Amino acid sequence: MYLNHLNLTVTNVSEAIYLFETYFDFKCIEIKGYNMVAVLKGADDFELVLMNANMNQKGGHSYPDAFHIGFMLDDPQYVTKIYKKLKAGGITLERLPQKIRDNFGFYFHFDNIMIEVGAALNDDENDDITLDSSMRSI
């Protein structure tokens, strides 16, 4: 058994497509209606479905406060790179990457979704994680 897909409601499907294609290597493979539903496929064949919040029949489209999706990268340096890429692209980022438990990462909000980007720290990094000098000026 495996997780086949995740359906997220957003207020702007086309902007969400852009975010996931540009920064998280998804590819939009289908759009239904006028940006009402989009199906994106990740590098690992995971399907992310983006649905316009207006399609919720009961009108609700909020998530619990702690609900989030997370992307784990292979190396803490990649966390820094994606942070810089998001920031350069005009994405609002609330905090710099930092040590979070045994990971190095950050959270940010896009539309009504909280997104985590992180990488596991090895034992050496776990004791002495610091931001590289290029991050200090951000």
Structural domain boundaries in the chain? 1-53, 65-138
pLDDT confidence bin for 53, thresholds 50/70/90: confident
pLDDT at 59 over 70: no
Average pLDDT of every residue of the chain = 88
Give the integer Cα–Cα distance in Å for 55 and 59.
Answer: 8
Tokens of 49: 């479905």
pTM: 0.85
Fold classified for 1-53: 3.30.720
* Class for the domain spanning 65-138: alpha beta
User: Average pLDDT in the 84-92 region?
Assistant: 97
Q: Are 49 and 5 in contact (CB under 8 A)?
A: yes
pLDDT band at 135 (very low <50, low <70, confident <90, very high): low
pLDDT value at residue 133: 46
Q: Are strands 103-110 and 98-100 parallel, antiparallel or unpaired?
A: antiparallel
Distance from C-alpha of 132 to C-alpha of 138, rounded to nearest angstrom: 11
pLDDT, average across residues 96-117 = 94
For residue 104, count other CB atoms closer than 10 A to its CB.
26
